[in-house]
Amino acid sequence: MVDTSRYEATFNVVDADGDGLIDADELQGVMRVLGEEIDAARAAEVVKAIDADGDGRLSLEEFATFMEQGAAAS
Ligand SMILES: [Ca+2]
Ligand SMILES: [Ca+2]
């Protein structure tokens, strides 16, 4: 179980339009901030890979899981 509260602040920054979900556009934006430029197709792929419930966007829980995996991988 991922501790989502650790990622809530980051999530809220990434969620530029504040709808409580991160879409491919917003993910692309945060990757750019992180210094990793990805194109729209790649962003959509990444969202698809992370998106556990298949709604096409990332909830805080999905995002936290992604961040945990990223932290573990680096
Ligand atoms: Ca959003
Ligand atoms: Ca989702």
Q: What's the gap in Å between 18 CA and the centre of ligand 1?
A: 5
Q: What's the gap in Å between 1 CA and the centre of ligand 1?
A: 23
Residue 70 has pLDDT above 80, yes or no: no
DSSP letter for each residue of 1-12: ---GGGGHHHHH
Q: What's the gap in Å between 53 CA and the centre of ligand 1?
A: 16
pLDDT digits (tens, 9 = 90+) for 42-52: 999 999 999 99
pLDDT digits (tens, 9 = 90+) for 1-31: 789 999 999 999 999 999 999 999 999 988 8
Q: What's the gap in Å between 51 CA and the centre of ligand 2?
A: 4
C-alpha dihedral over 36, 7, 26, 13, to 10 degrees?
A: -100
Q: What's the gap in Å between 26 CA and the centre of ligand 1?
A: 7
Per-residue pLDDT, 66: 84
